[in-house]
Structures are given as structure tokens and as C-alpha cells.
Amino acid sequence: MDYNTESIGTIAQQVAQAFQAAVVAHQQAGGPALTIAEVETGLRQFLRQVGLQSLSQFLSTGAGTPVAEIACPCGGRLHYQRRREATVTSVFGRLHYERAYYAGCGCGRGRAPLDEQYGLQPGAVTSGLAALLSLGGIEFGFEESRVWLHPFLLFDVSENTIRSETQKLGALQVEREQVLCDQSQDETYLQARLRETQPIPPRLYGSVDAAKVRIEPRAKAGKQPEKHEDWRDMKVGCWYEAEPVSPAQRSTRQRDKYDRDQSVWRATHMRYYCDMIEADAFGKLLWGTGCVAQADRVAELVFVCDGAAWIWNLIEFYYPHALQIVDWYHAADRLKRVALAAWAAPAEREAWLEAVTTDLWEDRVTDVIRACEPFAARLSEAQEAVTYFTHNAQRMHYAQYRQAGYLTPAPTAQQVRVGSGTIESGCKQIVTQRLKQPGAQWEVSGAVQTAKARAVWLSGDWDALCARRAALPLAA
């Protein structure tokens, strides 16, 4: 919205005069001299009260003169009753307003057109406040969010309200993703997409991983609490593109990588999705979100993941023509495990690890397997490594990947690695940082909804999700 600069100036002058009068009264009453921080906080409190009353008056007078009757959704007619008071909690705090209320239809239902116009639900929070509360809810524990939000809002909101609003947004994302999954199974929809003219990236990356979340069901009313806890996989996926890092933006590690490889790339346009479901069901989400990301239409689709069989099985099924790359870090980590188990002397261990890591880096996977085989009979780490590299050999042509300009990691842990770092970062930000906070207790639905809301924020689609929240129809 545009605002009249002259009007703002006039109102600002009136606010300044009123606030100055309050400061003078404070000083005359013997109060201590105010710091600039106290002045700022006092002015914010003053403006909050102004906003509260302004919004109340705006809502109370914004509907104009009531008409005698309006249509009822059932097809009948509703008759004007009176101006009825309602209460909501807004970004300015709890406010009261009056609006025209209609009833008298045979169906027994009533309507308040103003509530419908602005998506207000008496007794609840406004969509504007819901978006702010949810930002706290996806970043901190709900109780911590309540404390954290107070200095910004300058009024208290309960922990349960923050939880409720955060998970409502997550539930909306659940609904949206179900629509995407349904559409992606509709042949008519898929054919219509072929006529779309929106830009398609020449190369798109995809990654999938999982992280454990503790599920500890809460006791139901009148029942004893359940004694067990369960660790469940939160599966996380990401679609992303890549762009070169300009010389001015390169870190010290990236400059070292450029000197070695003559290229430095970074992930961009990350779009995350997640759920706590079985692999087959997650595959539908992989396909549905992929259709939105144009994964089925790009000239080149590249998956960078770890060696989990369930991940590659889904990729083989839904995207059989995609290039499959095992993340370098996971592959190199297998060799570190073998080295630690096989060699007690540091010098021998490091010499073996350097040689075998170089073989892996230069596409000599067969030599890597041969180097692990002598230890396989007595070391489970070596046996697992032999199996791992044998099954994934065709996904480990790292020299070819570097030459083709794919997002590739550096050959040592001391250098920059990219690989599947994008999805590892997603798991860390969605699961570890939020769902694994100290003392966190989750039911499946709450964990999923909170995680999905956070994934939307990390994907840069927060405003669109909040807009869907604002457009929700009122409860009947």
C-alpha cells in the first residue's frame, strides 16, 4: 500500500508531541533520566497502543452502514440483527471491535461479513500475528519462542498458541503437497505442463537423506502415559541448482579449491521437502515436488546422495535417466573407518588412507575395493566398505564429475566439500536444530507439521504459505 507522506508527517508530529508530554510528566514525577533504549521501548509501547486502537476503529467503522439482509450460503436470506462485539489478538495485542451480524435463516447459521472479508475468527489470532508466531515456532522450542517473542511483540502469547499456529501452517503445507502428489499422478495435468513456457534450468540437482527424531507420545486424557519412546526417520529432500562463486565472494577455502580445480560452485534456489513416512510414500512426494521443480523436464538431472539403498531405489524408479553420484564425504568416511580399525600406528594408517583416498578421487574404485579386501575377513568395517564400494562403483566417477563441472567436493576433509552438503545442511536445519532441541517431545503429526513449516521457510516460500493461511475460510 502507498501512504500519503504529508499525512504521515502530520501524524508523526502529533505522536512526538504526545510522547514528549509523557516523558516530561515522568520527569516531573521524579522519575530517573531515560536512556535512549528506554525512550525507544517507550515509544514502541506508545505506538502499539495507537495501533491497537486504530485497528479497532478501522474494523468497527470499515464495513459502512449495514444492509437489511444478505444471502445465506444455504440459499436463504439472513437478516441484520445488531452490531455484535468480537475479540481477536493481532500484532498489536488483544483488541475488541464491533461489526454487523446477520442471522434468522432457517438453517440456523449466522454471518459477519467483515470477519469473512478479513479472515477474522473471534477468539483467535489474526493471520498477521500467526505468521510472526510461527516464525518463532519454527526456530525455537515453543516455550522458548514465547519468551523470545515478547521483546518484539511487547505482549505475551501462550506457548500453546505458538504451537497451534506453527503447526497450522505445517498442516497447510501437508495439504499443498498432497495436491502436488495428486496432480503429478494425473496424466491430463502432466500433459498440460508440456505446454508451459516457464524457464527450465539446464541442470538440476536433487538430494535425499534422513535424520532420526524422537517420538514420545503424550498421555491421552484419562490414560496412563506410554512407557516407550521411538526414533523415527524424518526423510528430507532438496531440489537445487548451482552457480559459480565469483572471485570477490570466495572464502579462503574456496580460493584454495579454485587453485586446484579451476572452478568453485555453490548450491542455489534450494527447495526443501520432508515427511515421516515410509520410502514408497516418500517417493510420491519426491515425484510431486520434482514436477514443480521441472525435474522431469530438465536437460540434465543429477542426484547427489549417500549410499542408502532405499534412496537409489526411489531415484531409479522415478528418475531412471538421472545421473547418480554418491556423495564424496560418505564414501571417504567409509575409508576412514577401515583405516582406524585396521591400523594402530598413525603413520601406517595415514599412508594407507592417503593412497586409497587418492585412488577413489581418481576413479580407481576397483583399487579401493582391493585395498579393503585383505581386512574384510576380520573387520566388519572393511567388509561393509567392500560391499558399499562394489554396489556404488558406477556412482563414484569423481574425476569425470569434476571434468563435467558438477558440484563436487574436495579430496580431503581439510578442503571444501560440496557433494550432498546441501541436503545434510537441510537435515541439520530442519531436524537437528529444531526437532532435536533439549527436552523436545514430539508426536508424529506435530513433528511433521513443524518440520514442513520450517522447510518452507528455508525454501524461501514463507510468504506464499502465510498467504494461504490468511485466505482460509472461517470455521462454520
Residue 107 in this model has a pLDDT that exceeds 70: yes
Residue 246 in this model has a pLDDT that exceeds 90: no
For residue 243, list its beta bridge partners.
266
Backbone angles phi and psi of 378, in degrees to 5: -115, -10
Q: Is residue 408 part of a domain?
A: yes
Residue 104 in this model has a pLDDT that exceeds 50: yes
Q: Is residue 134 part of a domain?
A: no
Averaged pLDDT for residues 27-50: 93
Question: Which position has the grid cell 586409497?
Answer: 356
Residue 245 in this model has a pLDDT that exceeds 90: no
Burial class (CB in 10 A: 0-12, 13-18, 19+), 110: middle
Residues whose CB is less than 8 angstroms from the CB of residue 289 and which lie 6 or more positions away in sequence, other chains included: 177, 180, 237, 239, 271, 273
Chain-centroid distance, C-alpha 123 = 28
Provide the pLDDT confidence category of residue 180 given band limits of 50, 70 and 90: very high
pTM for this model (two decimals): 0.88
Residue 93 in this model has a pLDDT that exceeds 80: yes
> What is the DSSP secondary structure assignment for residue 186, as one 8-state letter?
-
Residue 259 in this model has a pLDDT that exceeds 80: no
What is the model's pLDDT at position 222? 61
Residue 404 in this model has a pLDDT that exceeds 90: no
Q: Is residue 39 part of a domain?
A: no
Burial 23-49 (b: 16+ CB within 10 A, else e): eeeeeeeeeeeeeeeeeeeeeeeeebe
Q: Is residue 19 part of a domain?
A: no
Q: Is residue 153 part of a domain?
A: no
Burial class (CB in 10 A: 0-12, 13-18, 19+), 398: buried
Residue 225 in this model has a pLDDT that exceeds 60: no
Averaged pLDDT for residues 78-98: 96
Question: Coil, helix or strand for 348?
Answer: helix
Provide the pLDDT confidence category of residue 130 given band limits of 50, 70 and 90: very high
**For residues 368 and 356, is the Cβ–Cβ distance under 8 A?**
yes
Residue 418 in this model has a pLDDT that exceeds 60: no
Choose among 410, 367, 411: nearest CA to 389: 367
Note down the domain range covering 362: 201-430
Report the number of distinct structural domains present in the chain.
Answer: 1
Choose among 202, 181, 151: nearest CA to 41: 151
3-state helix, strand, coil in the chain (%, to 5): 55, 15, 30
Choose among 372, 338, 209, 230: nearest CA to 286: 209
Q: Is residue 115 part of a domain?
A: no
Q: Is residue 334 part of a domain?
A: yes
CA distance 178 to 452: 13
Choose among 213, 267, 262: nearest CA to 420: 267
Choose among 277, 232, 207, 221: nearest CA to 418: 207
Taking each helix axis from N to C end, the angle separating 127-139 and 142-153, rounded to the nearest 10 degrees, works out to: 130
In angstroms, the Cα distances linking 476 to 70, 108, 342 are 17, 11, 68
Residues whose CB is less than 8 angstroms from the CB of residue 361 and which lie 6 or more positions away in sequence, other chains included: 398, 399, 411
How many percent of the chain have pLDDT more than 90? 75
CA distance 326 to 406: 12
Mean pLDDT of the chain: 89
Q: Is residue 27 part of a domain?
A: no
